[in-house]
Every structure is written in C-alpha cells, then in structure tokens.
Structure 1
Amino acid sequence: NKGEYIEYIYNYNQLVETIYPENPNMNIRYKYGEPTDGNNAGRLTFQEDATGLQQFEYGKLGELTKNIRTFALDPNNIYTFVTKWQYDTWNRLKEMIYPDGEVLTYSYDKAGMLKSVSGIKGQDEFDYILDNAYNKFGSKVMTICGNGIKTDYNYDILNRLQRLTSLTPNADTIQSILYTFDPNNNIIEVQKSAQQGVGGAMHSTTIKYDYDQASRLTYSSGSMNYSNNGYGFEIEMQYSPSGNITDKQLDANILEVSGATHKQYDNHYQYNQNQPHTINTINNGQYNFLWSVNGNMTYSADPNGERGLFWDEENRLTTVVDMGKTANYYTYDATGERTLKLTGNFEQMNINGQYNIDLYNINRFALHTSPYIVFNNHGYTKHYYVEADRIASKIGGGMSHSGNDFGEHIYEFDISTQNDYGRKSEENAKTMYNHLDSAQSSVGSQFDVLLDVDYRIIRKFTETDEPENKIFFFHKDHLGSSTQISDMGQRVIHHIEYMPSGELFAEQRDYWHTPFKFNGKELDEETGYYYYGARYYTPEVGVWLSVDPLADKYPSLSPFMYCAGNPVVLVDPDGRAFWEASNVREARKYQKNNGGTFEKWKGTNKGGTYASVNWNSSDGTANSKVFEPTNDSWGDKITKFSNKLLEKFTGGLMGTADNGQGQETRKGGDAARPTDLKDMTSNIPEPFMDGKIEEIGGININKNGDFKKNEDEYKTKDGYFSVSFKTPIKNAIAEDVPYWGPEDSARKIEKIKNDDNRILNRIVSIEK
C-alpha cells in the first residue's frame, strides 16, 4: 500500500544486490568467483547482509568446504568465525571443523549409511554416536549414543515405526514408546513409560487421538503417572472446511517446572471478513488480533496483556513487545535464518532519587554464529547433527585450539575498514530502535529502550580452553520432539511431554535444559512462540503468525493452518511445507468407483511397502487388494512374481507383471491405469528404476523390438544397458539380481534373458 518495492540487481543471471526500501541495514550484496578462481569460479564467494560478511570456498564437486563469517555486533565487538567441511566423492560428510577447533569425524558402513560420529579437540576425544544399524529398507533399527544409551526401533509389516526403546547399559529404560495405528495410518494411541526420569522418577503416559474424515485431529486425551501423582488432559477441536479452527476446548492438569497447574479454556474462533483465514477474535473479545495486509500478525491481546509485533520487508518477525513486560528483537541473515536474538525486561529506573524512567533494558543476547555454535550471556553451546537432526549439545570450553584469529575480519564491498563495520552495527541499532518503537505503537505505549548488551564474553572464550565434559544427548519421539535428554552419566536431566499441538503437558528439569522442544524447534520462552525458520508458530492458538510462503501449494487449506490439522503424524520442517514424520510410513490406499476403475489413490509410499491389485476382467475392474504380499498371499493374483524380487528392488522397482488376466503389481508411482493391461503394448514395465527400463545386462533390444547381441552398444555411463521395448517380452527370468544399495550402485543386473529369444505379446512372469 505504500508503493514501495524491493529492488533486485543482476549481472546477467547472477544476483549481485538486494535493496530494501525501509531498512538499508538489511541490504544484501553478493560477489562471485572469477574464471581464474579455481573451484570458486562462478560460485558465490562473498555475501554481505545485516549481520556482517561471509566468505565461501568450495571443493571440486561444488561442495562448500569453508565458511568465514564476520559479525558486526557493535563498534567494539566484531568477531570472525571459521567453519570447515570435507566430503567424499559420494558427497557424504567425512569431517567438519568447528570454529573452536573441534574436529568431527563421520564414519559409514559398506552400504553408505552413517555408522558413527566422533570428535577430537586438543587431546580430548568425544563420542556422539557409537553405532547405528539399519534394516533392508534403510530405516534405522538401532543407535547407540555417545553415553552408551541404546535405542532400538521396531517397525510393523508396513514399515511404520511401532516401538522405540531407549536403555542404559544397566538395562534401565529411560524411554519406551509404543504406537498404534488406524486403517488410515493415523496414530490413535501412544503409550510411553520410563523407569528413570529426572531425579530417577518413574513415569508412564498414555495419549489417545481421534480424527475426522479429512484426518484432522478432533479429540485427544492423555493421562500420566509421575512419581505416583496423576496428570491428564482432554482436547476437542472443530474446523471449517478450509481448515480454520472454529473451536478448541482444553481441560488439563499439567506438570510444569514450578509444579502442578490446572489449565482450562473453551475457545470459539471468529475470523475477519476481508481476510477470511485471519483470526479476528476468540470468545467475543477475550482474545483479539490484528493483521497486516501481508497477513502478518501485528497485535494480540489476551487476559495476560497486550502484545505488539513488527515485521520487515521480507515478512520476517523482527520485534515482539509485551507492554510493560518484555521486549524482543531479532536479526536475520540473507538466507532468512535468525542469527541474533536480543531480549530485555521492562524496568523503572530512579535517577538521583528525583524521577523515574520507564524503559526496556535490552541486556540478553543469543548469537547463532551457525547452526553449530550459539553464544549467549553465559558462554556458548555447540550442537551436533546428523543431516538436520540434532543429536547432541555440549557446553563449549573455549576457542584457543581453533588456530583462528577472531579479530581478523573480512573486508569487501562497503565494509572496507573496521569503521565501516562500526557503521553497520550502528545502522543495525538504529533499525532496532525504530522497530521497537513501531511495535510499541501497536499497543499504545512509547517507553524508552536501553541497549545494554555485553558481548565481551565472546572475547573471553576466544582466549580460554576449559574441559568440555557437559554433553547432552537428545532422545526423541517420531515427530523429532525432545522427550528425554540425558547426560554423560546416563542420567535424565530434562523430561518433556506434549499435548498434540505442541503445548507442554509436563516438563521437569535438572541442572540443564534445552530450548529445542516440539518438533525439535526452538521455543522462545519470552513469547511462547516456536521458531521454525520461515515462520513462527503459537501452539496455544494453534496457528502460524504469518502466511505460508508456499501457500499456493495447498490451495484448499488455510495458509495459517498447522500441518493440515494433523500435528500427530505430520511435521513442517521450516514452516513452508508439511509432510509425514520420517518414522511414520504409509501404504497406498485405493478407492474404486462403480465402473471398476480407480477413482483416486491416497497417501504416500516411503518405506518400500508394496501393493498388489487383482484385475478380475479385461474391463479394468478390480475386486481385491493385498498389502505387503508374501509368497503365500499371492494365490491366483500374480502367481509368478516373487516377493524376494520385490525386496531386492526396494530402491526403485516399479515394474508390471501380467499373468494373462490383466493383473498389475507396482511400487509407488502414479495411479494404477484403469485400462486392460493386455492392451498396453508400449513400455509395460514403464517405470523400473525411476522411469523406463534402462538397465538390463545380457539383453539389448532396439526400437524395433529385435534383440541386439552386442551388450556394449547401449551401455550407459553408469555401466548399465539400455532397453527400448516396442512390445513386451515373454518369460523374462531374472537371475542374480543384486540389492541396489550404495555399495552395489555400480553393478548391473547380470542375467536377465529371454528363454526362446522371441518378442511376444506380454510379460508372463518375472522370477528370482
């Protein structure tokens, strides 16, 4: 509405600058490698944003091998951190060097799956994962943390996670979770138990779930016994057709860190007419909300007070002010990741005993130098990952082993002297004051703001080298939520239970606790919001604070709806798109209309689960289906398609077999064709290895359907043979078919032959 715009400047197809209309400190500048820069040629080498400057270096395959990052916190506190990576030719991470000098090593088994993770810093060695094991589908079945706690994962016949159990070396259970599913693959019950919790307390929890026809959660009840004390909750939910929450009722006796608390509400949601997915009020004014034209929440009020929120041009939340309580300010880098969090309380200062000043004293900070190291007022914490999964955290002891000069800054673009770094930090402070003023105006107040953050603790740790013996291991549920956290002594020092939408059901702490809770995301305790990356989520209200950046991907759903109304099975990794939790796998489901053809296929197929369809006549009707077939269950459906052959091709078999009655078997892929398979004369095994049959050793068939004797004529760069069918073949017999895991990926199918060297009208059988 202001007629303002974000300007993007390109050099041919390379973005070189982004200019913002209201916050020049956010302007982004990019520089790319010259043709003579070796591996860096044509790649992003420098990036300047609101946080400072970054330099990037790359390997031969284009992988990032080095990141040098300089932060401009204030004119007197400018620090540089260096992180390095080393990958193998399969693009697997082999080694990582943290800014404090710790060298992390990742080891893999023969199938290319992660086996262990260890670290060394100075003379000290650390184990983060001692061992991992996997099943034939690539699902993890066992992991041993660095403190010796072993977790076993058990799956059902559909390869869905059915039970996980974490045991200490003394066989004490610190976590046992049992999942029960309905026919739609929704979780309907979770049973948890532990012989050892915080302070050695035993506890058990049972949570049940009900869903509507759209798999949206409508009811949940939970009960927990903790040290012989009972706690529980009941939740009821109702939705509009598009997924707007219309009613949410809660009655709960919960266990907080401070003790038992009763929480109850009966919320009725009303929405704005001009923005039909934004909440106007709850319970006729008990809760009120305002939204910007971009769909960002700018104001909220509840019985606890008023809150103002302010957003930048990229629709990122920068400021949250609770009137007369706290003020919070966030800074983001060019990728949209939050790097600096500043917070402070409302205070009244007496000057010489004569008059008072009301102000927000911003004196606490959290600096994310990367996902791996976070500084705050007390020191720094290191985080350890397997891909995006945080497996452990450790209190850092100092950076004197790094070999880096933390005062050696990067100089490029506008930042050519340290004074320019000072100017950037001053611009950042000016923007902070402006945004805090704007957020305060939303709640009708205008208190002073004092920026009094002491970053000198960072300088202190660049010169120290203390032992790092406080290591904490995350034990999670199927959603990636932190449920139990243990220390090196195998003691549980943080225990958390959740209600379905992420509200805390129980929490007990010892001497350390993590802010990474529901879905493994960071909970800002000052605001009660979860930070997901692209958006913030409020679990009590149950909505996102802003529009989904990928809202066009889900046109039938509210862009503020969390996980399509199913937070029990679905996760949203960064606030932009939801999918099934990694440990929950779903088989195909069919719906047949009166004409016998398939009307739709629902669900996904992530775990190597197969489905057989029996076509009972040439008109394309189907009268039965089999999930996860065994040799005995095939019967007269597909008599000569061995399940062992299916197992060999869990990574890619999507083939078709026909026994003369038009029956089809396939894994994944698009919907089954509602036609007679006998009439399909082109590429019957249409997808077999991500598309068409492209790799068969021992036989080559040209476009006319004739056999080519020369095996090398159609050989591809990966060592496979190319086949093009004009008509399908009969009696193709597979022999010595390998499992195509990473270690076998260069092998070909050695022996698939046609018995009588003739092209006939259909595939009759494929056998092992």
Structure 2
Amino acid sequence: MEVIDGVAYTTSLNYNEDNTLKSITINSGVDFEYYYDEKGLPNRVIASLGFGYKLYTQYIYNQRGLLESYQHDKETYTYEFDSKGNITRITTGTGDEASYTYDSLNQLKTESITQDGSTRVIAYEYDSHGNMVRRVEGNKETLYTYDLDRLIQIEEKEDGVTTSIKTLAYDDAGNLVTDGEYSYTWQMGRQLQGISGTGLTTSYKYNENGLRTQKTVNGQTHEYTLLGSSVTREVIRDSQGTILWTIHYSYAGDSTPVSMNVNGTEYYYLKNAQGDITHIVDEEGNVVASYEYDAWGNHLSITGGEIAELNPYRYRGYRYDSETGFYSLQSRYYDPEIGRFINADDTDVLGVEQDSLLQFNLFTYCLNNPVNRTDDSGYLSIPNWLKVTVGAVAIAGLAVATVATGGAAAVICGAALSGAIAGGASGAVLGAVGGGISGGWQGALDGACSGFMSGTLIGGATGAVAAGFNIATGATSVVGKAHGSTLHKLATNMEAGKMAASGQYSQIGLNKSLNTMGLNGKLRPDVIGIGKKGVNKLVEVVSPKQSINYISNKMNGMLSNNPGSVGKIVSWVRNLFK
C-alpha cells in the first residue's frame, strides 16, 4: 500500500504454493487471475473489470514450448519461429502481418510489414562491430557513418540522390552532445540533464539511484513518485503550477504495467506476447486507444486522442517521451529512429558474458535483434520470452532452485540458468524434459533440481547435463557454498555452473579461501576453478555496496600472487541497483 496526499493506493499480489503468481488486486477492486498448464506455463488470464465485464487472455504453445498464439478480447496474435527460436512471422486476427529474417549473428536483416493490404519491406545492414550502416526501404536509403562505434553522420537518399545529411557529436564519455538539430547536456557522467533546440527545451531530475523523478518540457512539468523503479504516480502541471492530470499506475509482480488511473478513471493495458502495449480499454471493455509499432519501436499508428497521448507505456512496455521520440529505459534513452541508444553503456557490462560479439558495442540496442529481445534497464538486453509469458515462470523457478540449494546441486542449476539466458533467442525455449534431466546423478544430488527441470528451458539443459555428468563422474568436484544476497548467490552459481559444464576444472570452490584450494593467499573469491591444464580461474561477483575499483584491486592482488591464473569480475548484480 502507498499513501499519497492522504489517499491509499493498494496493489495486492497473491501467489500459489509453487510461488507462481495467482492474482493481482488493484486499488479499484479490479482482479487479475492467472492460470497455468501442467508444465507450469501461463495459459490464461482473467481480468474482472468494472460493471461486471471480464477480459480474457489466452496463451497457446507449440510442441517446442514456444508461444504459438496469444489472444485477448480485442486481438489475436499468431507466431512462427525459425530453428533458433527467432520469430519469423506475426499474424493478427485482423489480417495485418509482419515477417522477419536474420543474419548469422541473429541481427534483424529484413522486416516486412503488411497493414490494411499495403506492404513495406525494410532491409538492414551492419558492420563487423554491430553498427547499422545501411537501411533501405523502396527507393529510400539511409547511410550511417561511425567513429569508434559513435554515430557521427546520417545521410538520407532518395533514388540515389542525397536529400539530407545530419552530423552528430559526442563528449569523451560517449554522450551525444548534438544531433545537428538539438543540443544535449549531461551530469553525473551519463545522466541526461537537458535538451534544447528549436521549439524544445527539456530538463530532467533523478534520485540517488539514477532513476528519473521529474521532467520539464517547454514549461510543463511531470513529477514522478517511485516505488522501487516503477512510477506509481505522475502529476502533470502547466507552467503556472496548476495540476492538469494526476495519473496512478498499477503493475504486475514483474513491474509490467497493467493499468493507469487518470484523474480518477481507470484504464487497462492490453499487450501482445512481446510486451508491447497495443490497446487501452476502459472499465466497460471499450477500446479507447491503440498502437502499432515496427520492430524497433517506431509508431506505425496511434488512435485514441487524449488517452493515447497521455499514456507513456508503449513498445515493450517502455516509458515513451513523445517530445523527443525516445524511450526512457531507466539508465539510458533509446532512440528507435536509429535503433540504438543516444549514449554509451557503462563499461562494466563488458565483463558480463552474453555469448555475443555485439556486446562489446556500447551503443547497440538488444544486440540488433529487437524482435526477440528486450532491455528494460538500458544495461543488458534479455530474450523477450524471459520477460513476457514464455519462460518467466520457469526462469523464476530455476532462480529459486539455484539459491535454495547448495553445493553441487546449485552449480548444476546455475549451469542450466546460465545456458537458458545466454541461449535466449538462439534455441533456449521452454518445454518438458521428461520429468528431469535424465542420468544417474540425479539421485546422488538429492534431485535438488529435478522438480524444476520437469518444465525447464531446453537451451539450458545441455549445460546442466554436462555439469551434472562431470560432477557425478568425479571429473569435477564442488566444495563450499555460495554466500551473500539472493542475487549474489545466483550470479555465483551461474558462473560456477558454466565452469563445471566446460569440463576444464578438476575442482570448483565456492566462497573458499585461496590457500584451502591449494593457491597462495587467504582471500576468498566467490568462485575458484582449479584448471586441469594448470590455468586456474578466479571469479568475483560485485555486490551493490561494493565498488568496481575495490573488487578490481582485490582481483589484481590475488592474480599477482597466483601467476598463470585468470580472473573475471561479474558486475550485473551491482548494476541492477544503480
């Protein structure tokens, strides 16, 4: 419950015995009920709105466990996939269609959009760094020029003739300072402070965690009240301070927006399986706004007048700033027109393994695979299925199993979770694994993960099998147990799981001192891997209260005392709390 100006606003979440979400009741008395199939996958949601109206959402999966159909009262979405799990076609009940192809790195190669009988085809090309260098649609062509992955020129052509050239510039930190039309100012390193140019002046304020608490656009101010990272209330004032609108937002357990209350009237969000807000309905189920988007989040159509414009949640459920055309992704701003962020990511993410060479480009959005991935924070993208419906329940179950168990069992779960997330749009799909990953090691490890594995991620199964086999046969032994917060344990077990699955280490120590593992020193890294070929590995997970410099100095000291060892610093846990 949150009390604002003496008024209580409540969102109640109820869970089943297996910790899956059972229901949500928001302040207005509206209930959302969640149902699951025998594999634990969500297959139905019933929203009981006002005036006795009920809104139904249904999920249907194919034999691979991928979401084949997503249907609510206002629309039906049918999905087709390639062998890697990438969406290749989306068809709606109204006959609209979108088709996609991908290159060998799973980057979006072509996009075909059919609306109202008219079809557009857009082709994209990238350089070896993952920078989009060319976009072609019909007789129109856009060429992009880069310097150290910084976009410095955009050239528009029509029938081969240049129609415009825009020049961009950046500061030393990789922050955009001009795009040829507007100027950008920054504070605290990578925080956008304001934008100015013809017809537009904006300024922004943030809290101690770097989350936006206020924006002012040409004198109109938006004040945000936050609960965690979610905006629970937005007050919009004119230049004289008069309140124009007061909007309250309600969310599901994963911070997915479910409704907004505008000056006392409740409206509800309908979305597709990728998390896009596609419709807004009132308490009687009438559609009051609708949106359509391309793969990158550009609006193809908006209907609905004032409510459609007031609502900030759009593509992928991101918060949209209509005055700039940017999406605010907490730590950074994403520009869908160019398909990338307007400033560089924190270099800490370079230490986070994503199994993609594209992760080393600090400007790319979703590894250039916007159809199948999402990025709520501006730090790291994840597969859409991990955030939306498919995979959410299973990932939560595996995360619980990873930290609730210890030692070898936790390491095997960590291997599965690591493989599942890394696999993402490259084959990590939901499905049954025959009641668990088969093999004699299950009993020896108390079947710690078997309950979860009955509905696990196939993409993570390979890693779990390899880790389990190596541990069961004695090829790799595990000593100790991960420590710290839940997320710290999760990250530790994932790293240890990948090491166990690789077969390169004879022994893996969790929170063990160097000398107890036969190395020099008494410090305790989170993970120690004793290499079979003499190359040992030390892993440190950075907690929210620790600095990168502190952990780097600790790692350098341990490596200097143990020549021939390699180190890895994992910072995503800390980044989540920035």
So what's the TM-score if we normalise by structure 2? 0.59
1:187 is displaced (CA, Å) by: 2.3
The equivalent position to 1:330 in structure 2, one of 212, 217, 223, is 223
Residue type of the partner of 1:140? Answer: L
1:495 is displaced (CA, Å) by: 4.8
Distance in structure 2 (CA, Å) of the matches to 1:386 and 1:507: 16
The equivalent position to 2:2 in structure 1, one of 57, 63, 69, is 69
Q: Is residue 212 of structure 1 aligned with residue 105 of structure 2?
A: no
1:270 — aligned with what? 169
Is this contact kept in 1: 2:123–2:137, CA < 8 A?
A: yes
- Give the 5 Å matches for 1:76-225: 78-121=6-49, 124-129=52-57, 131-147=58-74, 149-167=75-93, 172-173=94-95, 175-195=96-116, 202-222=117-137
Is this contact kept in 2: 1:329–1:341, CA < 8 A?
A: yes
Q: Is residue 379 of structure 1 aligned with residue 265 of structure 2?
A: yes
Higher helix fraction (1 or 2): 2
- Give the 5 Å matches for 1:288-687: 288-322=183-217, 325-346=218-239, 359=240, 361-370=242-251, 371-377=257-263, 379-383=265-269, 389=275, 395-397=281-283, 468-471=284-287, 494-498=290-294, 502-504=297-299, 506-510=300-304, 513=308, 515-539=312-336, 544=341, 548=345, 551-554=347-350, 557=360, 562-563=365-366, 567=370, 570-582=373-385, 604-606=422-424, 609=427, 687=463
Is this contact kept in 2: 1:330–1:339, CA < 8 A?
A: no
Distance in structure 1 (CA, Å) of the matches to 2:263 and 2:328: 20
1:249 — aligned with what? 155
**Cα-Cα RMSD:** 4.5
1:344 is displaced (CA, Å) by: 4.0
Q: Deviations over 1:425-454 (max 9, x none)?
A: xxxxxxxxxxxxxxxxxxxxxxxxxxxxxx
Distance in structure 2 (CA, Å) of the matches to 1:207 and 1:321: 35
Any idea what SS the aligned residue of 2:60 has?
Answer: strand
Is this contact kept in 2: 1:216–1:564, CA < 8 A?
A: no
Any idea what SS the aligned residue of 1:469 has?
Answer: coil
Is this contact kept in 2: 1:316–1:535, CA < 8 A?
A: no
Is this contact kept in 1: 2:269–2:281, CA < 8 A?
A: no
Change (3 A) 1:104 1:471: farther
1:244 is displaced (CA, Å) by: 1.8
Q: Deviations over 1:467-499 (max 9, x none)?
A: x23257xxxxxxxxxxxxxxxxxxxx645344x
Change (3 A) 1:315 1:558: farther
Change (3 A) 1:179 1:95: same
1:651 is displaced (CA, Å) by: 8.0
Change (3 A) 1:311 1:70: closer
Distance in structure 2 (CA, Å) of the matches to 1:388 and 1:503: 15
1:554 is displaced (CA, Å) by: 2.6
Any idea what SS the aligned residue of 1:289 has?
Answer: strand
Any idea what SS the aligned residue of 2:423 has?
Answer: coil
1:22 — aligned with what? none
So what's the TM-score if we normalise by structure 1? 0.46
- Give the 5 Å matches for 1:23-34: none
Distance in structure 1 (CA, Å) of the matches to 2:222 and 2:273: 29
Q: Deviations over 1:517-547 (max 9, x none)?
A: 3333232324543233444434457665777
1:139 is displaced (CA, Å) by: 0.7
Any idea what SS the aligned residue of 1:552 has?
Answer: helix
The equivalent position to 1:235 in structure 2, one of 121, 142, 145, is 142
Any idea what SS the aligned residue of 2:124 has?
Answer: strand
Q: Deviations over 1:345-392 (max 9, x none)?
A: 44xxxxxxxxxxxx5655333232543332224722233679994677
Q: Deviations over 1:710-747 (max 9, x none)?
A: xxxxxxxxxxxxxxxxxxxxxxxxxxxxxxxxxxxxxx
Residue type of the partner of 1:281? Answer: T
Any idea what SS the aligned residue of 1:115 has?
Answer: strand
Distance in structure 1 (CA, Å) of the matches to 2:367 and 2:315: 17
Any idea what SS the aligned residue of 1:554 has?
Answer: helix
Any idea what SS the aligned residue of 2:313 has?
Answer: coil
Distance in structure 2 (CA, Å) of the matches to 1:138 and 1:183: 23
Unaligned 5+ runs, structure 2 = 252-256, 352-358, 391-418, 441-457, 476-578
Give 1 or 2 for the bigger CA radius of gyration. Answer: 1
1:652 is displaced (CA, Å) by: 5.6
Unaligned 5+ runs, structure 1 = 1-67, 73-77, 196-201, 224-231, 254-262, 347-358, 398-467, 473-492, 586-600, 611-645, 656-666, 670-684, 696-700, 705-768
Is this contact kept in 2: 1:222–1:233, CA < 8 A?
A: yes
Is this contact kept in 2: 1:82–1:98, CA < 8 A?
A: yes
Change (3 A) 1:566 1:300: farther
